Structure formats: structure tokens, C-alpha cells
Structure 1
Amino acid sequence: MAGTCAGSVERDSQTPLLEKSTQAYMEETETSEFGSKSRIGKIAYIPKLIWIFTESNFDTFVIPNTAFGVLGAFAASILVEGYQKPPTALEILWRFPLALAFNWYSVFIFDLANQRSPESIQEDLINKPWRPIPTGKVTATEARRILLVAIPLVLLFNYMLGVWRQGFIILILTWMYNDIRGSDEVVRDLIISVAYGMFNSASLEIAVGGGEYTNINISRGGLIWTAMISAVILTTMQVQDLKDQAGDRTRGRQTIALWIGDRFSRITIAFFVCFWSAACLLFWDLRPYGYIIPAATGAVTAYRVLSKKTPKEDATTWRWWCLWTITLYLLPILSLI
């Protein structure tokens, strides 16, 4: 008996304090705002549930990826092949909700998987205490059960939209990133960049009315453009990690910023923002006025990365980076003017 107690004390002494607090938090949080509702109440709560899980990624992920597809569809003559006539503006706007829905429900699956693990809860208690699990709106167990229902529905929706191939790869990447902790390794940005390619290509196919069940496909030029944007993501996406370094260090995550150091990471981000701004502008061979907005937002982003270094300032820089990527998505349209 004494040996058992001694072993228990020894194990407790080796357990990090923050890990203990996280375990205690998860054990104490047995009920939630979602769990306390009736069955009808839970159904009515679903829209709010989707929003609170995806709120932080809506304007930084859902909107930009939707924009890639919708804005690219206006330049279908360059990015798409196999259609009898290019889609009209009205047809593209009619499909806009479908492209938005695809990105939104796919991000919802990702965020459910991402935020329910003990490691993520531990990190969110430091970096993002307003998220639904730390605030008690939903428990990790409830998030897992929601995934059991949501994933088959997402597979069905992707099949109906004709983008089941990209959707299936996105689910694999979600599993790699969250469940086998690819997010904690240096390959994290590679996984994210491939995911962006899947999101963007699917968004474009949905917006032009293409997909698996039509003859409309992304052209060689469209594939090159999609690959270029994925390369932009791969080499500059670590800007999102700058604001979260304290939590990432606690979790032991191998982000680029922690791996090569904050200073060198900022230099590489600023360099590649400038490099890709120039490369994308040259690729589309724009008139001089077409350079103004992408070059300006890229310059502001690079300046902020190098000079604004508090977590709050880094969070604002992250949003500037998202705005810069959207200006790159405008380039196919500007090339037609």
C-alpha cells in the first residue's frame, strides 16, 4: 500500500502543473451549455455551435478560399477548360453560397478535430481561452460525438457537389494534422499548403459549375496558379504562428518560428511575401495599375512582420497576410481588364 502511494506521488511530481490543471479541468467539465439542452434545443443550437467553433477561421480561411474560387471563376477562360461557354456573373454568384458552404463545413470538421484533444485544450487555455471547450459551451466528448455525425454528412455533400476527391483528401489531411499530431511537427506547413490546394481547387470547380460529373476541369494554367498559391502558403503561412509562440512552446510544437528562431522566421516571411508578390504579378503580366493593391498589401504585411512583434500586433499582421492573399486572388480578373 505504501509503495502504491509512493508511486502515485512520484508520478504526480513528474506531471507538469499545466497538464494537471488541464486534466482536472476536463474531469470537472462534465456538463456544458450544449449538453444541458433538450434534443430540440440541441438542434436549434447547431448554427451557433458551427459559428463558435469556426469564428476564428472564418475571415482568415473560409472567406479567402471561397474568394479564390469565386474570383477565379470570373477568369474561367484562363483557369478552366471544357465548358461550352464561360459562366456568367449571375451563374457564378448563384454558386457562391455552395462554395462558401463547402469551405465552411470543411473547416468546421477541422476545428472540431483540432480543438477537442487534451493538448489543444491545454494550448487554448493559454492562447485562446474564449474558444467553446475552455468556456464550457461544449465538452471534448460532445465534440467527438458531433464528428461521428458530421463526417458522413460532409462526405455526402462533397459527393453531391462533385468535389469528393478534394474533400476526401482534406479529411485525410485533417486526420494527419490533428489525430496523429502533424501539427506539432515541421511538416505542419506542408500539410496546410496541400490542404489549401484542395480547398482552392474545389472552390474553383464549384464556382464554375464543374466537378466530377461534368467535362469542365481546371486547365493547365489553373493548376499552375493553384500550385503557386499553395507555394505562397507553404513559405509564408508561418506568420500565423508568430502570435501563438507561448502556447506552442508549452505544447512542444515544432513550428518554424520556434525551430529556426523568431528573428530568422520573420525575415524569411517578409522575403517570401515580397518574392511571391512580384512572382504572381509577373505571372499574370498585368498593366501597371494592377500592381498597386497587391504590392501595397504585401509591403504592409512584410513591414509589420519585421517591426510589430507583440502577440496582439502579430494577430493583426496575420489578418493583413490574409488580406494580401485575397489581393493575389484578384489577379486573374485584373489580367482581363
Structure 2
Amino acid sequence: MRTVSVFSRTTDPIPPAFLLKPYSTYFQSFLYHMYTVYLFSCNNFKDIVCVGYLFGALNASIANRIGMGEALAFTQILKASPSMALWSWSNLFLFNLHNQRHPHAISEDALNKPWRPLPSNRLTSQQATQVMYCMYPLVLGISLREGGLVPCLLEAVFCLWYNEWGGAADPFLKNLLNGFGFACFFAGPLEVATGRSVFSGEGKAAIWLAMIAIGITSSSHLQDFRDMEGDRAIGRKTVPLKIGDLNARLLCVLAIGLANSVACWFWPGVWMGSAIAWIAGIAIATNLFLDRSVNGDAFSWNLFPLWMLGLFLLPVLRG
């Protein structure tokens, strides 16, 4: 959610060449607005849309193991891919509108991400709010047509709680909303691909998602170490600042190790297949204590998606 990379910093996006060419007024206006939409979500596309699609595709290929119908063939997953991506992007765009439209968010982005639509004056906060309200029926319509309605509704609640009802103010609640918000972005593409609810059957898919959500909740403050000085300067409350740097690092290592162990217990017989999760987890733990510089902590956070990929592969590699 605002900090989850859903929250890595990137360099300023370079406008594509087609925006610099002399097209007709209407066409150039269309491209301008499409680029504005892109700027809202470009920071989170890899972490939300791509990772969510990866989770959905991998688990759809073994849907029979998680109680979501027959396993899908590669061609079936490929056919469902546009709908999976559309579900993810539409829900992400709605979250970004909530997340970036408030005055404090605009002021922060003016310093850290001045190319975003609101600080760069591509549109006003009022216009962003109007677009946000228009997105609600569109997002709901996509979920009703393509699937993933329950994850969509739950994500909307978490989004409102995080951005509008003060959820981001408490560091522990923020991590909890991030963890289960991610789970919604994982569940949506899976439901779109399979046409089944994650709560169907014996609810094994829902249990698996809850385990991943708890793992993310208890370790996602990994992203906060690199920003401690800036967060302290502006009075932002994060887990490392709340419980102390060393305690927060120990908590992160413990959470990753415990998540790996529980996941291997849940998917028995995959200890060899869990190598990616364990290697990534050990790399994060080692780097957290050997290199506490800003660059070192940023590298630790960059290993986080690799760790999640290792968890995603466990049911696939079960055999």
C-alpha cells in the first residue's frame, strides 16, 4: 500500500517518443491521458500486476491441488491472461487514485516522485477524485464479468481502511493491511483464470493465501529500513522506528524463517523444491546484518520478490 514497492523507488519515467511527435490534437490528447494513467501505477506494476499474475498462473496450473477445479493447460492460462491482467490493473489503479490524491501524499510525491500526475499538475486532486469515483463501477463490472468479485470487494475495504480511515498511521496495522491487500491481488487473477472462488472446495487455496499474507505482514517492514532517516525526519511511524532497528531486523528474519517452515509443512515433500525460498530468505537475513547501509537495505528489499516466488513454487514443485 503506500510503502509496499508496492514500493520501490524508481528513476523519473522518460516520456515515450510518441508523446513528442506532432500527431493530431485529439490523438495526442488521448495519448497524454493514457500516459497520465500509466504514471499513477508504473511504480507498482511489477510488484502487483506481474507478481499477482505469476501467482495466478502458477496456481491455476495445479488448481486440482488447491481445490479449484481441474488444472489448467498452458494454452488455457494464456487465453485468460488479458483478463487476469485487466483485473489486476483496474484494482491497482483504483488503489493508486486513493493513495495519491490527498494533500500530504501530493507534498511527499513532490519531493520523492515529482513526475507523478498530481505533483506534476497533469490533473488536480479534484479531478483525480472524480476519476476515482468513476472507476468503482468499472472495477466492479470487470469483476462481475471476469471473476474475482470477493477479492475485489475485500481489496476495496482494505484500500479504504488504509488510505481513508487512518490504517496507514499505525505501523503494525499498515503491515497487516499490506499483507492481506497483497493476498487479494494474488487471489483475483487466480479466480479469473479458474472461474472458481479461493474459498471453494475445502478452502485450501484460501488457507494458502492467508499463510502468504501473514508471512508478508510480519516481514514487509523490510522495506522501511532504507528509509529510516527520512521517515524519522518527517515523523512517519514504521516498525523499525517503533521497536528499534535491531529488533525489527530480528523480527523480519524470524518471520521469513517461520513462514518457510510452515509452508513446507503445509506442502509436505517439497523440502528440495523449497530451495529458492530458503536461499532467498538466508540471503535477506545475511544482508540485513552484514550491510546496514541504505544501499544494503535496498538490496535486501529487492530480494523480497524472489522469496515470494520461492513460496509460490512450493505447491507446483510438490510433484
- The normalised TM-score by structure 2 is 0.83
Q: For 2:144 and 2:182, how far apart are their aligned partners in 1?
A: 19
Match of 2:104 in 1: 119
| Equivalent AA in structure 1 for residue 209 of structure 2 | T
Per the alignment, do residues 96 and 129 of structure 1 end up closer, same or farther by CA in structure 2, a change over 3 Å counting? same
- 1:290 Cα shift? 1.0
Task: Say yes or no: does 1:193 pair with 2:176.
Answer: no
**Which structure 1 residue ranges, 5 or more long, are not aligned?**
1-36
One-letter amino acid matched to 2:277: P
- Whether contact under 8 Å (2:140, 2:149) holds in the other structure is yes
Higher helix share: 1
* C-alpha contact 1:166 1:198 (8 A) present in aligned 2: yes
1:25-67 CA deviation, whole Å, 9 max, x = no partner? xxxxxxxxxxxx9665443334322321112112222222221
Query: Aligned partners of 1:183 and 1:42: how far apart in 2?
Result: 35
Judged with a 3 Å threshold, the aligned counterparts in structure 2 of structure 1 residues 150 and 219 are, in CA distance, closer, same or farther, namely same
What amino acid sits opposite 1:57 in the alignment? N
Letter in 2 for 1:117: H
User: Where does residue 105 of structure 1 map in the other structure?
Assistant: 90
1:75 aligns with 62
Q: Are 1:163 and 2:148 an aligned pair?
A: yes
Q: Which residue of 2 aligns with 1:208?
A: 194
Give the structure with higher Rg (CA): 1
Q: Comparing 217-226 with 70-79, which one deviates more in the overlay?
A: 217-226
User: Pick from 288, 293, 315: which aligns with 1:310?
Assistant: 293
Paired residue secondary structure (1:56): coil
| Cα distance change of structure 1 residues 108 and 314 upon mapping to structure 2, 3 Å threshold | farther
Q: What secondary structure sits across from 2:274 in the alignment? A: helix
Count of aligned pairs between the two proteins: 296
Question: Aligned to 2:261, which of 252, 273, 278?
Answer: 278
What is the 5 A alignment of 1:164-243?
A: 164-186=149-171, 187-211=173-197, 217=200, 219-243=202-226
Aligned-pair CA distance for 1:184:
1.5
- The residue identity in structure 1 corresponding to 2:294 is P
Report the alpha carbon displacement of residue 311 of structure 1 after superposing the two structures with TM.
3.2
Aligned structure 1 segments of 4 or more residues deviating by more than 6 angstroms: none
- CA shift, 1:247, in A, is 4.2
Change (3 A) 1:211 1:231: closer
Contact 1:197 1:229 in 2 (8 A): yes
Superposed displacement of residue 178, structure 1: 0.9
Give the aligned CA root-mean-square deviation in angstroms. 2.6
Q: Gapped runs of 5+ residues in structure 2? A: 1-23
